[in-house]
Amino acid sequence: MTFRQQLNLWIAGARPRTLPAAIAPVLVGTAIRFQDLHSARKINWVNALLALTVSLCLQIAVNYANDYSDGIKGTDENRVGPLRLVGSGTFSASAVKRAALLAFGLGAAAGLLLSLRTSLWLILVGALAILAAWFYTGGERPYGYRGFGEVSVFIFFGLVATMGSYFAQAERINSASLFMGISMGLLSCALLAVNNLRDLPKDALVGKKTLAVRLGDSAARKFFQGLLIFGVTAAVIATYPARPTLAPILAAIGLTVALQAIQKVRAGAQGADLIPVLGETGRVQLLVGLLSTIIFVIS
C-alpha cells in the first residue's frame, strides 16, 4: 500500500463529514465577538486559531477513539457507513489508538496554550472534554453504549465549543453565544442521531444501547427531525436581535436544506441509504454556522 493510499484511508477514518461540527461553533463564537468590537483588527486571531485547532483535534480524536474502542469490542464488524479502520482490518488497533492519542495530544497542547492566554479554567474544561471523548465508547462501561452520547455531544460540541470560542475572545459569555451554543449542540446531536439510526439494527444485536436503540426506529426518526428543526430555530433566536430582517432568511434557508435530510428519514431510509443524510446534516450545521457568522459580522 502506497503512502498516498494510507493517507486517504486515515482521512476517511477521521470521518470528514463530521468536521462541520468542529468548525461551525468556532466560526460563530468568533463572529459574535466581532459584533461586539465592530472591527476585525480587534479580534484575537491567535486565540481563534487555537480554539479551532482544539475543536478539530477533539473531533478527529473522538472519531479515531470510537473506531479503536468499537473495533476491539467487536461491535464494528460488518457495518455500513464510514470506513472502520479497526473493524475492517485496514489498520491495527494499536495504530488507530496511537492516532487517537496523537490527536488528543495536539488538541490538549493547543488548549493549554489557549488557557494560558485566557483563563486557567479552560484546562479543566479541556480535560473533561478529553475524558468525555475517550469514555464515549472506551473503558469497561462506555456511556455511549447506554444512550448518553447525545448529552455529551450537546455539551462539548455545542455549548462548550461555541461559548468557549467566544470566551477565548471576550473572557465572558453572553446570550447570543448561549443560544448559538444550543443551536450548534442540537445540530451536532443530529449528526450522531442519524449515525446511530443507520447503525440501529446492528447496535441492537451487539448490545450497544444507543439512544436510537432505546427509542426504537420510529421515535429515533422523529428525534432526528426535531434536532434539526430546533437547531435551526435556536440560531434564528440568537441572530434576531442582531439583524431582525435577516433572521427569517436564515430560518428559510436552514429549514429548506434541513428538509432534504428530513424527507429521506421520514421516507424510511435505512442502512447505506442514510449515509448521504449524514453529509446533508453536516451541511445544515455548516450552512447555519456560516449564515449566522455573516449576520453577526455585518451587524
Torsion of CA 63, 67, 268, 266, to 10 degrees: -20
For residue 58, CA distances in Å to 19, 22, 62, 99, 182 come to: 10, 8, 6, 12, 19
Topology (CATH) of 3-298: Farnesyl Diphosphate Synthase (1.10.600)
Q: pLDDT, tens digit, for every residue of 122-145?
A: 999 999 999 999 999 888 889 999
Domain definitions of the chain by residue range: 3-298
Q: pLDDT, tens digit, for every residue of 16-25?
A: 888 888 999 9
Total residues belonging to the chain? 299
State the Cα–Cα distance between residues 230 and 17, nearest whole angstrom.
Answer: 21
User: Residue 150: which pLDDT band, with cuts at 50, 70 and 90?
Assistant: very high
Asked whether 133 and 58 are in contact (CB, 8 A), the reply is yes
Question: Which are the contacts of 181, defined by CB distance < 8 A and separation ≥ 6?
Answer: 25, 158, 159, 160, 161, 162, 163
Question: Residue 162 has what pLDDT?
Answer: 97
Question: Which are the contacts of 216, defined by CB distance < 8 A and separation ≥ 6?
Answer: none
Q: pLDDT, tens digit, for every residue of 222-234?
A: 999 999 999 999 9
User: Residue 279: which pLDDT band, with cuts at 50, 70 and 90?
Assistant: confident
Question: Residue 76 has what pLDDT?
Answer: 61
Grid coordinates representing 66 are 470510537
Residue 190 φ/ψ, nearest 5 degrees: -65, -35
Question: Which are the contacts of 230, defined by CB distance < 8 A and separation ≥ 6?
Answer: 186
Grid coordinates representing 171 are 473572557
Grid coordinates representing 47 are 486565540
For residue 279, CA distances in Å to 17, 52, 65, 89 come to: 6, 21, 21, 25
Helix, strand, coil percentages, rounded to 5, for the chain: 80, 0, 20
pLDDT surpassing 70 at residue 79:
no
